[in-house]
Structure 1
Amino acid sequence: MITSYLFLVFVMFHIVCCMPKTQQHKINKPDMLELRKRSDFHPSERTLDCFDMVGIEGDYVYTPTERRRQCTVYFIGNFMDELVEFQIRQIDIPCNGNKLQIFDGWKLGGAVFPSEEEHAYSMENRQFEACGEDSDSVFISSQNVAMLSFPTNIGSFKITFRTRKNPKPCHAMAPDSSGEYDLLNYGERRNCTFLVIYPVTISIIQMTVGDPSIETKLKCFSEPDQVQFLEGNGLDYGLMRTEQVMCGSTETVEVQDYESTNDTTTAAGIVCKRSGLSIPLQCQSSTVRLISSGQTDNHVRIKFSKLSPSFNECL
């Protein structure tokens, strides 16, 4: 599961960081093919590479090299209702120089997930440092992703990566290209974001957002409680295109035809079935955001599945 997911993560990082800023929204397909080959390799030793992604619990060791560059290791839980936990077992990094950086979430190409505006903590309180005085210290994330960053010559360290249950999941990143997820506000005023780094079809299994007595409506831009469906090529939902905004309850769905909020969308659209609604999101990143005023108990259960390669384009 992690192997297939790792492919797109490597692709996004390579494209965003290595291409000129004026071209960061484009997809370089030859690079994608090469990175797919790299993602299929799974070393038997639990040693961290300078650029790496980890989804298997256990002990991980980093050994410094003489080459000078910045390293990033992304961690993700195998389930979306998990928290990431690091325990620093050994650390040979002086405290008078560069330190091991731990971040509550992911940073990629200048974007942050979960976003700065919607996370429970400020950016300053999401960033932690570790050095030789911090052996046996423990870090626990606020969602199922976290990351480490450090220069290659920083020094050696050993960490234990575990996951634990998140009692009230809000923000989450999918560890695979298909599955199910529940977005809830627990009656609170908060926004929750679900991200899949794949073009996918989102099927609404059950939805009650806002007044439960109102049938499902489209284009609910002015409603205080709404669910948004967005597509783009990064982590920042603010740079994504809004495909649709909905509210109401699926128990009284009467939607037959679909008109996208984006005039450029043509063939794809919401498909109304007895089992619910399906929305194709055709970019490299697919996002569902639950916006809640705190006045109602909102709940959206979705099922997502990867689109075929022929749809793997951002229209």
Structure 2
Amino acid sequence: MGGTFREQLFFVMLCLSVLKGHARYMEENEITPEGLFSLLNSELKREIPEEFIYSRPLRCLDMVAAEGQFTFTADRPHLSCAAFFIAEPNQVINVEYDSVDIDCRGGDFIKVFDGWVMKGEKFPSSQDHALPLMERYIDYCDSGTVRRTVRSSQNVAMVFFRVHTVGSSFTLTVRKPINPFPCNIISQTPEGSFTMVIPQQHRNCSFSIIYPVEIKIAELSLGHLNDFPIKKSMPGCAGAGDFVELLGGNGMDPSKMFPVADLCYNFNGPAQMKIGCDNTVVRMVSSGRFVNRVAFQYRLLDRQELQRIKVNSVEDFCFTG
């Protein structure tokens, strides 16, 4: 696992996309560390009085972790721009167009993506999102005044935009309403705790931690009985219908990640594992027949722990301990 890519994902909230090509639906974008940790950190914990609306310019490559108004004004042609939006795990993101002055007919556009796209990989994956891929892109130039507010399905969203003419501008208002049943989350922090609940819904939910971490499962309740029959010939929990799996890898898409462990029996923990991957994911698969719940804690591994589990691991790509 290359150090350069680990650095890129370790600071993923600080890394912004340099988009390539002129495709209408841009999916192949490179990630380059831009050293914006101080930017995200300052916005993440900002205390803003309710009566005051925070506002600032929007950059061509940006990370937004605060509610408020964000205005982009072109000082030159900007052909490949992207802004990453992130909220708390129990929130979703509302992007509202306040004012737009761009030339749609001339090739300008503003496009909201329901999730994040990095190096062609998407979070949530297509397996875990309710909408088909193309329906996750909402283009202002296609919808115009018909749809002036776009709401994400999870705590992250992106805005792609292209503006050719100097002086053209647009203003977005970003709000973060509460989501009573959070699903598909990117963690803002390298340590914390979370309880994921799927209330009798046929869906898959992932919690992504973009750090090498130790995971402690404190509780797993899958609704079915502990003696739920699973044939031994079946690999892992594939026949259970309802289960939790731990994944690791060096990208964003859970469907392309390495399976580390799967759990398909109820228990009260702790069950713990150290995963030395750039990205660690707790993913719950639900058949919709039961109320499923998993509670877990996570913390960042230090350098010594990473080195120790790497030495003891038979896996070169993603090591566990």
Query: TM-score category by the smaller chain?
Result: 0.7 to 0.9
The letter for the 1-side match of 2:241 is: P
State which of 279, 284, 297 in structure 1 corresponds to 2:291: 297
Is 1:280 the counterpart of 2:278? The answer is no
Q: Give me the identity figure in percent.
A: 29
Q: Which residue matches 1:207? A: 220
Is 1:49 the counterpart of 2:59? The answer is yes
The letter for the 2-side match of 1:9 is: M
CA–CA distance in 2 between the matches of 1:308 and 1:74?
A: 27
Q: Which runs of 5+ in 1 are unaligned?
A: 18-27, 252-274
CA–CA distance in 1 between the matches of 2:156 and 2:254?
A: 17
- CA distance 1:204–1:7, change in 2 (3 Å): same
Q: CA deviation at 1:221?
A: 3.5
Look up the SS of the partner of 2:12 in the other structure: helix
Q: Which residue matches 1:171? A: 184
CA–CA distance in 2 between the matches of 1:246 and 1:58?
A: 41
CA–CA distance in 2 between the matches of 1:220 and 1:136?
A: 42
Q: CA deviation at 1:8?
A: 2.7
Q: Which residue matches 2:257? A: 240
Is 1:226 the counterpart of 2:243? The answer is yes
For this pair of structures, how many residues does the alignment match?
A: 270
Q: TM-score, normalised by structure 2?
A: 0.75
Is 1:307 the counterpart of 2:301? The answer is yes
Q: CA deviation at 1:40?
A: 2.0
Q: CA deviation at 1:125?
A: 1.8
Q: Which residue matches 1:122? A: 132
Look up the SS of the partner of 1:231 in the other structure: strand
The letter for the 1-side match of 2:125 is: S
- CA distance 1:193–1:38, change in 2 (3 Å): closer
CA–CA distance in 2 between the matches of 1:236 and 1:59?
A: 30
CA–CA distance in 1 between the matches of 2:56 and 2:189?
A: 21
Q: Which residue matches 2:150? A: 139
CA–CA distance in 1 between the matches of 2:181 and 2:65?
A: 21
CA–CA distance in 2 between the matches of 1:148 and 1:136?
A: 15
Q: Deviations over 1:56-107 (max 9, x none)?
A: 1111111113254411101010x21111011111111123132101111111
Q: Which residue matches 1:8? A: 12
Q: CA deviation at 1:285?
A: 0.8
Q: CA deviation at 1:136?
A: 8.8
Look up the SS of the partner of 2:176 in the other structure: strand
The letter for the 2-side match of 1:225 is: D
Structure 1, 132-141 or 176-185: larger mean CA deviation:
132-141
CA–CA distance in 1 between the matches of 2:198 and 2:56?
A: 38
Look up the SS of the partner of 1:157 in the other structure: strand
Query: Contact conserved, 1:89 with 1:136, CA < 8 A, in 2?
Result: no
Mapping of residues 250-265 of structure 1, within 5 Å: 250-251=267-268
Q: Which runs of 5+ in 2 are unaligned?
A: 1-8, 21-30, 44-54, 311-317
The letter for the 2-side match of 1:8 is: V
CA–CA distance in 1 between the matches of 2:83 and 2:16?
A: 14
Is 1:86 the counterpart of 2:95? The answer is yes
CA–CA distance in 2 between the matches of 1:144 and 1:180?
A: 16
**Runs (4+) off by over 4 Å:** 11-14, 41-45
Q: Which residue matches 1:150? A: 161
CA–CA distance in 1 between the matches of 2:241 and 2:262?
A: 12
